[in-house]
């Protein structure tokens, strides 16, 4: 008598459709594919919610520190390029490449150059600019101390932020600088008027040389402090001037401002 094949047992040339067969593999792969999602910031694959929860440290938002680091790298790259070649001649794509990212990454954080510039003013340039106004507030009745401290702050700001000298000369001192225009739109000229008023008041009170031109004071300070640092690359091969750094520039500026060019008088 012929035997009847058992249920679920393989027959010649065919496979059963059980849970461990070939039909189950596509469903498994589909579930794995659905479990991951694209990371909008990196374009990579994110972990599933259960995997992320198991590996994430308590109290730390997923990707928060990485996003902040990437954003800061883009801001740093923008300042470097703006100082090197100007704002108008710099594209968002160039900034992304300078930071080591793709243009898509740049557009994820900043949609336009104007938006990027506003963020730079708020987070990097604005605080530096505000710090330069502190000496006039702290030494309202001592112009020598105020102007001396302002010169020192300019030098310190230029040393701590290497992009500052070139960017300021290229984009702020120049009448056609885009940064100058943008900052004027944002802040107006209130601080400038207050500084000029303070200088004029000091002159009337006999605390400051009456022969000084108030409108040239800030430009003069820039020329004594920021300009030497902005042009330092031009005299790297000079055996004398290449040794000059921030400390020497600040000392020179303060001495010239407070003592002039004559010999120091005996006390």
Residue where a domain terminates, one of 79, 104, 124? 124
Residues 148 and 120 in one domain: no
Query: Residue 101: which CATH number?
Result: 1.10.10.60
pTM: 0.68
Residue 208 lies in a domain: yes
Residue that is last in its domain, among 124, 140, 173 = 124
| 146 within a domain of the structure (yes/no) | yes
Which pLDDT tens digit goes with each residue over 196-231? 999 999 999 999 999 999 999 888 998 899 888 888
Does residue 218 share a domain with residue 105? no
CA 213 to chain centre: 34
83-95 pLDDT per residue, tens: 999 999 999 999 9
Q: Decide if 265 is inside a domain.
A: no
Do 254 and 136 share a structural domain? yes
DSSP-based three-state secondary structure for 38: strand
Distance CA(101)–CA(98), nearest Å, equals 8
- The answer to whether residue 15 sits within a structural domain is no
* Domain-embedded: residue 210: yes
Q: What's residue 167's pLDDT? A: 93
Domain end (from 96, 124, 152)? 124
The kind and range of the H/E element at 46 are strand 45-46
Count the alpha carbons within 13 Å of 82 in the hemisphere toward its beta carbon.
28
CATH number at residue 239: 1.10.357.10
Q: Cα angle at 213 between 208 and 215, to 5 degrees?
A: 115
Per the domain annotation, does 70 fall within a domain? yes
Residues 149 and 230 in one domain: yes
136 and 118 in a common domain: no
Q: Quick one: 117 and 148 in the same domain?
A: no
Q: Please tell me whether residues 159 and 211 are part of one structural domain.
A: yes
20 pLDDT band, cuts 50/70/90, is very low
Pair of tokens at residue 13 = 């040339």
Q: Residue 45 is inside which H or E element, if any?
A: strand 45-46
Q: Are residues 208 and 139 both part of a single domain?
A: yes
Asked whether residue 146 falls in the same domain as residue 235, the answer is yes
Task: Clarify whether residues 174 and 197 are in a common domain.
Answer: yes
Domain count, the chain: 2
pLDDT at 264: 67
- Provide the domain limits for residue 96: 65-124
| pLDDT tier, 110 (very low <50, low <70, confident <90, very high otherwise) | very high
**Other beta carbons within 10 Å of 121:** 18
**Residues 119-126: contacts with CB under 8 Å, at least 24 apart:** 119/75, 120/75, 120/78, 120/79, 120/82, 121/179, 121/182, 121/183, 121/186, 123/75, 124/75, 124/79, 124/161, 125/179, 125/183
Confidence of residue 47 (pLDDT cuts 50, 70, 90): very low
Are residue 196 and residue 219 in the same domain, yes or no? yes
Give the model's pLDDT for residue 267: 57
106 touches 95 (CB < 8 A): yes
Residue 33 lies in a domain: no
Q: Are residues 95 and 142 in the same domain?
A: no
Nearest to 106 by CA among 82, 84, 78, 66: 78
Q: Distance between CA atoms of 166 and 222, rounded to whole angstroms?
A: 12
Q: 55 falls in which pLDDT band (50, 70, 90)?
A: very low
CB 89 within 8 A of CB 81: no
234 falls within a domain: yes
């Amino acid at each position: 008598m012929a035997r009847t094949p058992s249920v679920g047992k393989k027959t010649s040339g065919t496979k059963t459709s059980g849970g461990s067969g070939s039909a189950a593999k596509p469903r498994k792969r589909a579930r794995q594919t659905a479990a991951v999602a694209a990371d909008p910031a990196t374009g990579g694959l994110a972990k599933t919610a259960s995997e992320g929860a198991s590996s994430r440290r308590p109290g730390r938002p997923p990707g928060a520190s990485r996003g902040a680091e990437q954003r800061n790298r883009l801001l740093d790259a923008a300042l470097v390029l703006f100082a090197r070649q100007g704002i108008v001649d710099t594209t968002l794509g160039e900034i992304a490449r300078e930071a080591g990212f793709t243009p898509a990454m740049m557009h994820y954080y900043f949609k336009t150059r104007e938006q990027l510039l506003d963020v730079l003013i708020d987070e990097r340039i604005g605080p530096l600019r505000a710090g330069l106004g502190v000496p006039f507030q702290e030494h309202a009745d001592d112009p020598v101390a105020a102007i001396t401290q302002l010169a020192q702050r300019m030098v310190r700001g230029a040393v701590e932020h290497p992009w500052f000298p070139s960017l300021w000369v290229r984009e702020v001192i120049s009448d056609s600088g885009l940064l100058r225009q943008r900052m004027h739109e944002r802040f107006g000229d209130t601080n400038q008027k207050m500084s000029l008023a303070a200088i004029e008041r000091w002159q009337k009170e006999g605390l400051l040389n009456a022969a000084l031109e108030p409108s040239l004071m800030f430009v003069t300070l820039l020329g004594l402090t920021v300009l030497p640092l902005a042009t330092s690359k031009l005299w790297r091969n000079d055996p004398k001037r290449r040794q000059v750094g921030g400390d020497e520039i600040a000392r020179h500026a303060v001495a010239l401002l407070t003592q002039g060019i004559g010999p120091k008088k005996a006390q």
